[in-house]
Amino acid sequence: MPEIIHVMAGAIADASGRILVGKRPDHVHQGGLWEFPGGKLEPGESPEAGLARELAEELGIQVRASRPLIRVHHDYGDRHILLDVHRVDDYAGVPHGREGQPLDWLAPEEMDPAAFPAADRPIITSLRLPPLMLITGEEPDRPDAFLARLGRALETGARLVQLRAHQLSANDYVHLAQAACDLCDRTGAKLLLNRDPAEVASVPRHGLHLNSQVLMTLRERPGRSSELVGASCHDPVQLARAVDLGLDYALLSPVKPTASHPETSPLGWNTFAAWVDLVPLPVYALGGLTTDDLDDAFQHGAQGIAAIRGLWPAR
């Protein structure tokens, strides 16, 4: 097993959500590419201390508040790195390139993955995804009441919605999805359709969500290359399949006991963290969680939480 080089990097956000990137010098590893500022952790140093030291050395800023964003293992052939990225939302000082490196502020949507090292792809996806995914788990017995409820969730900040309505006929699902996509477009939220990709081929959407059975039967990534595609996973084999298919994100469940699956034993946060660490993907924690669990989720390597009961507004 080659030595793993632990690299700390900061995703430093400004008030409008743009992220600071720096250009790596031409002569170093991955030279000439844009990076998230940071560098190697020193022996005996905690991740937070290493991040603070690197950002002070490279940018002249003092980190005040940060939290884990994503950990990416990547094998470059000549070296294996663990890129441990923390999101920095508060700092003192004005960032400037203390080593002469050019800097820029980019919205995550503007980042061209080809201009960054290969290890950075999941970081860019992670920056484009919000910390909460709303799953519309209760069956829409009355579409207008369901859409009004979705509208309230969007008004109160939902940014990513998975439309899950397995009891509906294909035709009713398509109609509901069209109306839901209109609502999401009005607030800039993204709509993921949890349905057989063939049934929703021409339905407007921002992505597809696959269940674990469909995930394990597919041989290639479905959908358009420009849309988000993710899957529900319950074990490391399914997570590995999501990576092999080139999906953008995964859900891993159940983290805690849930009323909907009382027979399934929960993973708990430590197993969740150990499994998530193996996959270079943003992974949402699911199962018995609410926004009160968000900090635990971040500390255990999650992109955030996905929830039905915990996020659907009251009727």
Residues making contact with ligand 8DG (CB under 6 A): 7, 9, 28-30, 35-36, 38-40, 81, 83, 117, 119-120
For ligand 8DG, give the closer residue by CB, 40 or 175. 40
For ligand 8DG, give the closer residue by CB, 76 or 172. 76
* Integer Cα distance of 129 and 121 in angstroms: 13
Whose CB is nearest to ligand 8DG? 39
* Integer Cα distance of 9 and 215 in angstroms: 32
| Smallest distance, ligand 8DG to C-beta of residue 146, A | 42
| Smallest distance, ligand 8DG to C-beta of residue 244, A | 21
8-state DSSP, 117:
-
Report, in this order, helix, strand and coil percent for the chain, each rounded to 5. 30, 25, 40
| Smallest distance, ligand 8DG to C-beta of residue 115, A | 11
For ligand 8DG, give the closer residue by CB, 83 or 252. 83
| Smallest distance, ligand 8DG to C-beta of residue 83, A | 6
| Closest among 141, 51, 61 to 96, alpha carbons compared | 61
Count, residues in the chain: 315
For ligand 8DG, give the closer residue by CB, 25 or 257. 25
For ligand 8DG, give the closer residue by CB, 40 or 64. 40
* Integer Cα distance of 60 and 111 in angstroms: 24
| Smallest distance, ligand 8DG to C-beta of residue 21, A | 8
DSSP string spanning 73-88?
A: EEE-SS-EEEEEEEEE
